[in-house]
Amino acid sequence: MLLSLTGASGAGKSTALDRLTSTAWPVPVSLVEFDSIGVPEGADTAWRHRTIEHWVREAVAEQADGGHLLLCGQVPMGELLAAPSADLLDGISICVLHCSPETRTRRLLHRGEHPDAIVHHNRFGEWFLAHTLDPTHAPEVIRTDGDPTMRWSRWSDWSAGDPRWRATIIDTDTLTPQESASAVEEWARSELAPII
């Protein structure tokens, strides 16, 4: 299974992942960060699509060995489901960490983000949540002339409420880093439970 811990910048993904590295899982789970393979200068949508496919293939390899992959990064649900090899996975589970623009602004400024970039992060964060709730919301944000092998048709006719378009959303506004990590761990354990 591929477990995707995702969301826009500042929602708490990396902090949660750091705390999950010491978790004792009941089954083999590899934890990886999306950008850990390196981000080239001028990385574009096509690069992101190829990188998503890379991680899906890694999850397929883990699956073949009886393990699972927990991927942490800004991976919109529509892109993950459209990855060419996604249909080779036994399962995909998605957890979106979300925070309000006010919280995101405070967190990003605290970690040194340039103030001029904040508005873009907040717009993307709001799009990310809307996309997670409804596949018909502005799909052109991700359905660009990126990688032509992406399989957008897998979900292009789905609408909000379709049971195949499913994600857990955790609002991290009022959560401490430990509480966020605990919520993510609870989500991951509940998704893995049926296959243990």
Q: Is 70 helix (H, G, I), strand (E, B) or coil?
A: strand
Count how many Cα atoms sit within 13 Å of the Cα of residue 181 in the half-sphere of its side chain.
Answer: 13
pTM above 0.85, yes or no: yes
Cite the beta strand spans of 17-62 per DSSP E. Answer: 29-33
What does the alpha-carbon distance between residue 108 and residue 117 come to, in Å, rounded to a whole number? 9
Q: What is the pLDDT along the chain (196 residues), one digit of tens a residue?
A: 999 999 999 999 999 998 888 888 889 999 999 999 988 898 888 899 999 999 999 999 999 999 999 999 999 999 999 999 999 999 999 999 999 999 999 999 999 999 999 999 999 999 999 999 999 999 999 998 767 899 999 999 999 999 999 999 999 999 999 999 999 999 999 999 877 5
DSSP 8-class letter at 183: H
Residues in a beta bridge with 33:
72
The full set of domains in the chain, from first to last, is: 2-195 (3.40.50.300)
